[in-house]
Structure 1
């Protein structure tokens, strides 16, 4: 809930926050006629830190799986600075089901998807572990 999910589209940087209104996001979605979206990373499966090499490798595999979508690079970064920023993708036009499937495939604890109002919704895919409560 205390994470800034940012991405840069063709002309502007947009930050998504779960605990606030997101007028820049909504304006962009309306302008581009985007009716569904997701925000996903392949970094640090199950919220266990991995090497940078592993994370970059998994992120590249994720990008290849998203080749049929309009994708923008982004970064998820906790506001408290306790967890390192994670490279991420904003994916336009992806369904909730497909986004959840991909998130599960990459062992993600949670992903963002668009709600019916196009505002962000946090979907928990794997509950955080007791041993590593970084979520």
Structure 2
């Protein structure tokens, strides 16, 4: 059995993470998973019986559609848009909760467009 650490004496007070900080964190987490810029992601919060429910609206990067010829190509690209969006829910929840300490009840994802994955590459000359 382990003992819980007690707070250090003389360090009374509380910490808060602002809504803007949580929103920026959620945008960054979703952008990384969907292969887009954080500025393209919208995040909003609602109360869900005392916990936070996160709603993310984002485009998603997809490979050049001319390059997809088989199911193996789809799998190599990370799966279908549906599969990637479904899998991102848990990953976003874990990242935002883990980094902020906030207790999230759920993450709702809406894909609002697609972006070419090739367009994200930076050209160096």
Q: What TM-score, normalized by structure 2, do the two folds share? A: 0.30
From the two aligned structures, give the one with the greater strand fraction. 1
From the two aligned structures, give the one with the greater helix fraction. 2
Larger Rg: 2
